[in-house]
Amino acid sequence: MATSKHHGGCHCGAVRYTVELDLDAPGMTCNCSICGRTGGILSFVPAERFTLDKGEANLTDYQFNKNIIHHLFCKTCGVRSFARGDGPKGPTVAVNIRCLDDVDVFAQVGKAKQFDGKSM
């Protein structure tokens, strides 16, 4: 696994973060009720590999179903650039690869794995 640091955030720039992840690993797309409508490509990283550089006060938290994932979005522009939750190995951040700076989104779409969240 070859991780590297990337910067990302929302559309208006109010929320910015730094994350260490492996962009060679495929991201995940999901068809659940929220992901199917917002169209993110997610990469899951341990919380310690994610730093929110600015914008905590600009985030709004949305939860549904089992209320275990914090779907965070910028209250100015509405972009969901990451989410927080607990994974099998502890606190996890789901980074929306589409919100990373200087990333070829089309290359990421082509290798993304599909997850059938609608059936859960």
17: domain CATH number? 2.170.150.70
**Whole-Å CA distances, 42 to 21, 47, 62, 76, 96:** 11, 14, 17, 22, 5
pLDDT 10s digit of each residue in the chain, 120 long? 688 999 999 999 999 999 999 998 888 888 777 777 888 899 999 999 999 999 999 999 988 777 778 999 999 999 999 999 988 888 999 999 999 998 887 677 767 667 667 676
Distance from C-alpha of 80 to C-alpha of 99, rounded to nearest angstrom: 8
Range of the domain at 113: 4-119
C-alpha closest to that of 38 among 115, 88, 98: 98
99 SS3 class: helix
Q: How many domains does the chain have?
A: 1
Q: Report DSSP state, residue 105.
A: H
Tell me the whole-structure pTM to 2 decimals.
0.86
Max CA distance (Å), the chain:
35
